[in-house]
Amino acid sequence: MTSKADPFIVDAQIHTSYTPGLPERPALNVRAGFMGRRTLSREMEIANVSRAVLVPAPGHAEESVQWAVEEPEKYTVMESLDLDVDPSVTLARVPEWKRPGVSGMRITFWGRTPRVDARNRNLLARDEMDWLWEASEAARIPTMICAPTILPVLAGVATRFPDLPIIVDHMGVIPGEYYEDFDEVLVDLLPLAAHPNIAVKVSALCRASQEIYPFPRLHKPIEQVFDTFGPERTFWGSDLSTLTIPYRDYVDLFLEELEFLHEPDKRLVMGEALCAWLDWPIDEGTSAP
């Protein structure tokens, strides 16, 4: 596909590596998990992606932050919060979640084991994170939240802390789970649009479908999210290291296959709206006309 007419494209989530010196893993590997700088830069160039939001593993942000400090026009970091860290330590660090190279934080309340999953979900469901939301709201820290199966809880968070910018991960789907029908997710997700401080990443969705490109069953759910949240609160993203298709194909899914997505909304969804949400300036003339 030609990319000469592409809008300014910003990827809302890419997991990055945190062990310097290890061999680079290929991008097209559903279990790769994390990605190094050389591989990422090459993939972005091929797919005509101009910027990426980096999500390193908890406690291992230093390398990714360095990338963002060295190339602030290309990368920024959403630093992962480790829920095992003492809350008093986290509170002291809240202001650091918005500094050169870092635009905010990301928290996952979903776990890969039943024990971790139950513990993390309970922290959110029982309103045991209000100490963090209060501090983050005061510091205006954009916060990405992965909370599949308990999305309605976010309505209460958004109501109690209306100045806390919240971004829901992956349209609310469970990472790696297949969906025949997305209504079970949308019934909890769409009502959150009533809260102007909640936005949604339409990211990592090809992993939720057993179809092949162009994933026809994904089109309607994405359109429903777009219609409900609007282009200013719907953010394209790939979760590149877990993609099951070439990176450029996930770009083209939105640029060429979604008939409801038109200019100028396309420019907003593919990057401009996310940059505004994260207060990540776009130089004049960067965006395609």
DSSP string, 138-196: HHT--EEEE-TT-TTHHHHHHHH-TTS-EEEGGGGPPTT---S-THHHHHHHGGGGGST
In a domain, 108, yes or no: yes
What is the Rg, in whole angstroms, of the alpha carbon atoms belonging to the chain? 18
What integer is the mean pLDDT of 221-231?
98
* Tens digit of each residue's pLDDT (9 = 90 or more) over 62-105: 999 999 999 999 999 999 999 989 999 999 999 889 999 999 99
Residue 289 lies in a domain: no
Phi, psi of 250 (to 5 degrees): -70, -30
**Structure confidence at residue 24 (pLDDT):** 52
Q: What is the pLDDT of residue 1?
A: 46
Distance (Å, whole) CA 232 – CA 75: 20
Residue 29 has pLDDT above 70, yes or no: no
Q: In this structure, is residue 283 part of a structural domain? A: no
* Residue range(s) defining the domain that contains residue 246: 10-277
Q: How many domains does the chain have?
A: 1
Mean pLDDT of the chain: 90
Token pair listed for 30: 């559903």
- Domain contains 197: yes
User: DSSP readout, 40-97?
Assistant: HHHHHHHHT--EEEEEPPTT--HHHHHHHHH-TTTEEEEEEP-TTS-HHHHHHHGGGG
**Residue 130 placed within a domain:** yes
Choose among 138, 135, 107, 112: nearest CA to 123: 107
Q: Which residue has the higher pLDDT, 85 or 197?
A: 197
Confidence of residue 2 (pLDDT cuts 50, 70, 90): very low
How much is the average pLDDT of 151-178?
A: 96
- Domain assignment present for residue 100? The answer is yes
Q: What Cα–Cα distance (Å) separates residue 9 from each residue in 63, 159, 230?
A: 23, 31, 18
pLDDT attached to residue 58: 82
- pLDDT tens per residue across span 171-192: 999 988 999 999 999 999 999 9
In a domain? residue 18: yes
Whether residue 284 is contained in a domain is answered as no
Cα separation, 199 vs 269, in Å, equals 11
27 — pLDDT class (breaks 50, 70, 90): very low
Compute the average pLDDT of residues 198-207: 95
Look up residue 94 and give its DSSP letter.
G
**Predicted confidence band of residue 129 (pLDDT cuts 50, 70, 90):** very high
Report the pLDDT value the prediction gives residue 115, as an integer from 0 to 100.
77
For residue 284, the model assigns a pLDDT of 60
Assign residue 81 a region (left: φ > 0; alpha: ψ between -120 and 50; beta: otherwise): beta
Residue 150's CATH number: 3.20.20.140
